[in-house]
Amino acid sequence: MHQFLPYAWFGGYCVPFHESTISIATHALHYGTGAFGGMRALPNPVDSNEILLFRADRHVRRLSQSARLLLTELPEATIFDAMVAFVKANRPSSPAYLRPFVYTSDLGLAPRLHDIETDFLIYGVELGDYLSPEGVSCRISSWTRQEDRSLPLRGKISGAYITSSLAKTEAVKSGFDEALLMNSRGKLSEASGMNLFIVRDNLLITPGVDQDILEGITRSSVIELAETMGLKVMERPIDKTELFIADEIFLTGTAAKITPVRRIESTTFNRERPIMQKLKEKLTAITEGRVSSYEHWITRIRLD
């Protein structure tokens, strides 16, 4: 059962969550014509009157860009100001996941993006670990990741997540925690809602943006951290067989953070994950506001 934060941003104001309702005829509900974001809000471990947002500027920018893919303008400043008001209204006392959403709010029937009303909302849920920090089991999905020529994959378009939903349920129903999707060219793309990294011979490898991935913000953060820590990073296609001979495999995402993969189908991996562990410890310290050199990645919202 989700524990929703008490207030939502809806219609340009903070209102009680239970009052933030939409019509069953809402256009986006029928056609997937929406785009969403996800952001972690963490109470400062040493100051209960401060909430920390991780890379808020990047999240805001990506949602604004996603809105443009839906042919609507949603300025970054509008999103950011609403996010700050939302956090101050809710005053979360435990880690939370914030979900901003831009969508076609019209009640029309035709699938279209022109001459249509749009709106913007935010809600949130209390969220600790989305996936087990001990590691997840994965299967190779029978579903194929969409191509950018059929869907605008540079944005988090809600309609695109039918494939993620099918892949996730297929994985769980067949005894696994998560799914790994391949693209139409037979290369690894991403998990149902996370980016993929493997380690081979101390080299950190991840599918590039040309492999139909979402340009994950946690993914780009991990790449930057790895490079500053002296680790070699390569963005390139990954073959299926490389998974089974990798030294380490992990997933990244706003909800998932950095989560190790302990098994893929019948292959179990070593529990020693030194490179992933270094990256995870550094990223955790940054998100908790404990690394001054990465202060620019943190937005601090005062509640008093």
191-235 pLDDT, tens digit per residue, is 999 999 999 999 999 999 999 999 999 999 999 999 999 999 999
CATH of domain 7-126: 3.30.470.10
Is the pLDDT score of 163 beyond 90? yes
- Reading the block at residue 278, the tokens are 């270094």
Instruction: Indicate the fold that domain 136-287 takes in CATH.
Output: D-amino Acid Aminotransferase; Chain A, domain 2 (3.20.10)
Burial of 200 (0-12, 13-18, 19+ CB in 10 A): middle
Chain region(s) in the chain for CATH 3.30.470.10:
7-126
pTM of the model: 0.95
The one-character DSSP state at 93 is S
- What mean pLDDT is predicted for residues 86-90? 97
Is the pLDDT score of 48 beyond 90? no
Q: Rounded to an integer, what distance in angstroms lies between the CA atom of residue 78 and that of residue 220?
A: 24
Question: Three-state DSSP class for 168?
Answer: helix
Q: How far from 230 is each of 43, 223, 254, 260, 280, CA to CA, in Å?
A: 31, 11, 24, 21, 15
Give the amino acid at 126: E
What kind and span of H or E run contains 67? helix 56-69
Provide the β-strand partners of residue 251.
Answer: 196, 259
Chain region(s) in the chain for CATH 3.20.10.10:
136-287
Is the pLDDT score of 1 beyond 80? no
* Sign of the dihedral through C-alpha 290, 37, 279, 273: positive
Provide the β-strand partners of residue 7.
Answer: 16
- What burial letters (b/e) apply to 137-153, b meaning 16+ CB within 10 Å? bbbbbebbbbeeeebbb
What kind and span of H or E run contains 181? strand 178-182
